[in-house]
Chains A and B, each alone.
Chain A
Amino acid sequence: GAGVSQSPSNKVTEKGKDVELRCDPISGHTALYWYRQSLGQGLEFLIYFQGNSAPDKSGLPSDRFSAERTGGSVSTLTIQRTQQEDSAVYLCASSISGRAQETQYFGPGTRLLVL
Chain B
Amino acid sequence: SQQGEEDPQALSIQEGENATMNCSYKTSINNLQWYRQNSGRGLVHLILIRSNEREKHSGRLRVTLDTSKKSSSLLITASRAADTASYFCATGKPSGYSTLTFGKGTMLLVSP
| Interface size, chain A (Cβ < 8 Å) | 30
> A106 within 8 Å of B by Cβ?
yes
Interface string of B40-53 (1 = CB under 8 A from A): 11111100101000
> A78 within 8 Å of B by Cβ?
no
A-B interface contact total, Cβ < 8 Å: 71
CB pair A100–B95 under 8 Å, yes or no, is: yes
CB pair B2–A101 under 8 Å, yes or no, is: no
> A76 within 8 Å of B by Cβ?
no
**Interface residues, chain B, CB within 8 Å of chain A?**
2, 30-31, 33, 35, 40-45, 48, 50, 88, 90, 92-105
- 30 A-B Cβ contacts within 8 A? A4-B42, A31-B97, A33-B99, A41-B104, A42-B2, A42-B103, A43-B43, A43-B88, A45-B99, A48-B98, A53-B97, A56-B98, A56-B99, A98-B98, A99-B92, A99-B97, A100-B31, A100-B93, A100-B97, A100-B99, A100-B100, A101-B50, A103-B33, A104-B45, A106-B42, A106-B44, A107-B42, A108-B41, A109-B41, A111-B40
CB pair B43–A106 under 8 Å, yes or no, is: yes
Residues on B with beta carbons closer than 8 Å to the beta carbon of A53:
97
Closest to A106 in B: B42
CB pair B45–A105 under 8 Å, yes or no, is: yes
> A73 within 8 Å of B by Cβ?
no
8 Å CB contact of A89 from B41, B45, B88, B93: B41
Residues on A with beta carbons closer than 8 Å to the beta carbon of B98:
48, 56, 98, 100
8 Å CB contact of B30 from A98, A101, A105: A101
